[in-house]
Structure 1
Amino acid sequence: MAHPYFDAPAPRVLAHRGLTVPGDSHVENSLAAVAEAVSAGATYVESDCHLTRDGEIVLFHDDNVERVTGDPRLVADLRLRDLEALMADRGGLLTLRDALEGFPETRWNLDVKAAAAAAEMGRLVAPHAERVLLASFSDARRRAALAAAAAAGAAVRPATSAGSATIARVLGAAAAAPASVLRRLLRGVDVLQIPQRQGAVRVLTDRLIRRAHDAGVEVHVWTVNDVDEMRSLVARGVDGIVTDRADLALAALDG
């Protein structure tokens, strides 16, 4: 049975770090960016989580805040109030707690960016597990967050996508391994979230899409901003598009 996270119709448009369009004064992963994505009609929002010095989970992609604020310090070295001040004129800081409670209809695709964040992330998402997918390049980090959610009494396991090591094994198995091998590799995984290419290596293939679907696993592709490319991927069977332009994607893929 599919996880309740996937109850919404496909293809899924995942608003990458919210929505920021040319001319906006707010930055990615801010309160304003998420609000704009939701206002545009996004059901799914993709974001990234780090732990502050005083133990709060905040939505930030990088381990430092220089790219979006100009301040070179690490998130882990900043207190919540420091980040709130830095983000005050950039769309507003969004903590994970406020994201989950402030956008109760939104489904969250959350990347565990730091090992130190995994336990607190799991605890916070536990009451909302039916509308949360936990992701990470690190299988160890995402599994730690899943375990923390279970320990905190989550009624269902949060959905989850495969980490880099699992994806590498799946890519090798997809070429010729029996279905039983692929299903074993994908046990406990709901979706493969992948780029089309990694350097010279073609990651997304029609065979991978077909074999993932045979194993009951969705395929989402990141990060796609060209509308024609989105339509082509969906025509090939891709279930979800991670995009910086959720507004364009929703208009292009509606119906």
Structure 2
Amino acid sequence: MRPRDPVLLSAHRCGAGGDKDLENTREALDRALGLGVDYVEFDVHRSSDGELLLHHDDWIQVDGRKRWVRESTLAQFQATRPHVLRYDEVLQILAGRARAHIDLKFSSPGGAHEIAAVARAVEVMGAENIVVTTLDDRSVRAVREWSDAEGLPVLAGLSLGRRVRGLPLRAAVRIRLSELFPRLRYRASLANVMVANHTLARYGVARFARRRGLPLLVWTIDTEKSLHYWLKPGRAWLVTTNHPDLALEVRDRRAARLRA
């Protein structure tokens, strides 16, 4: 990214905004595409019968109880969310219209399932039109090693900013320190894009990315004040937001001032 390039925008959870019922749905996806965003972000889980589907949380509600998505079949999931989007369907919709910001919510031994998911995205959309993010260090490394071996320019980033609420204090502190000082994790994971919660980005991760020449993806920017800050050219490469309409307006106003 050149310093004067506009910061790109990614519609979080397919652009659902604050409506949880619209998260990762076709209605939200169509709305985001209608706005003309650069990327559409969506969360990908793998069901117990090997199907890839869009859902944010790790669990679903079944008869008033939480059930892990990974332990549910596609049919069981569809019984609770009949309008669920499947991964391949979304790739086909996005191809040629917007780029895909794929947030993987699953992991597997050796990263086999993650690699298969990314390979399918490359097949449908092209390697240059996707960015892959995940909280799992080993998943990032598996995808990067595969893409390097295939000679593909896939961007894969280790997402910093996982929730630590409820964890033992020592574990929570260890995780936060590894995110505030991510050199060892990024080196081990081979990540080639920096991905961080906006607070961590302000507390030094953005500086880390600049020093190492890594593109910076910041999530999730929703207030107009924060959008003005992060949409300044050169400050980030890609910003994820729940309010792509507002973000596009802020970016357009900034561009107009620069042209004036």
Which of residues 96, 99, 103 in structure 1 aligns to 2:90?
99
Assess if the C-alpha contact under 8 Å between 1:42 and 1:246 holds in 2.
Answer: yes
Counting only pairs closer than 5 Å after superposition, residues 1-255 of structure 1 correspond to structure 2 as: 10-21=6-17, 26-66=21-61, 72-88=66-82, 92-105=83-96, 106-116=98-108, 117-127=113-123, 128-147=126-145, 156-164=152-160, 171-172=180-181, 185=187, 188-197=190-199, 203-205=201-203, 208-235=205-232, 237-254=235-252, 255=255
Query: TM-score, normalised on structure 1?
Result: 0.74
Q: Percent identity?
A: 22
1:55 aligns to what SS in structure 2? Answer: coil
Measured in 2, the distance between the counterparts of 1:251 and 1:170 equals 32
Structure 1 71/157 Cα, relative in aligned 2: closer, same or farther at 3 Å? farther
Q: Secondary structure at 1:134's aligned position in 2?
A: strand
Q: CA deviation at 1:147?
A: 4.5
TM-aligned CA distance change 1:20 to 1:250, over 3 Å: same
CA contact (8 A) 1:29 1:59 kept: yes
Number of equivalences: 230
Q: Please tell me the root mean square deviation across aligned C-alpha atoms, in Å.
A: 3.6
Q: Distance in 1 between matches of 2:156 and 2:20?
A: 32
Q: Matched residues in 2 for 1:17 and 1:145: separation?
A: 22
Identify if the C-alpha distance between structure 1 residues 85 and 31 changes in structure 2 by more than 3 Å, giving closer, same or farther.
farther
The question of whether the paired residues in 1 share the 8 Å contact of 2:133 and 2:158 is answered with yes
Contact 1:122–1:146 (CA under 8 A) maintained in structure 2: no
- Is the contact between residue 106 and residue 114 of structure 2 (CA under 8 Å) also seen in structure 1? yes
TM-score scaled to structure 2, two decimals? 0.73
Q: Partner amino acid for 2:44?
A: C
Matched residues in 1 for 2:86 and 2:38: separation? Answer: 19
With over 3 angstroms needed to count, the CA separation of the structure-2 counterparts of 1:166 and 1:94, relative to structure 1, is same
Instruction: Identify, as 1 or 2, the structure richer in helix.
Output: 2
Unaligned runs of 5+ in 2: 161-173, 256-260
Residues 246 and 71 of structure 1, relative CA distance in 2, 3 Å threshold: farther
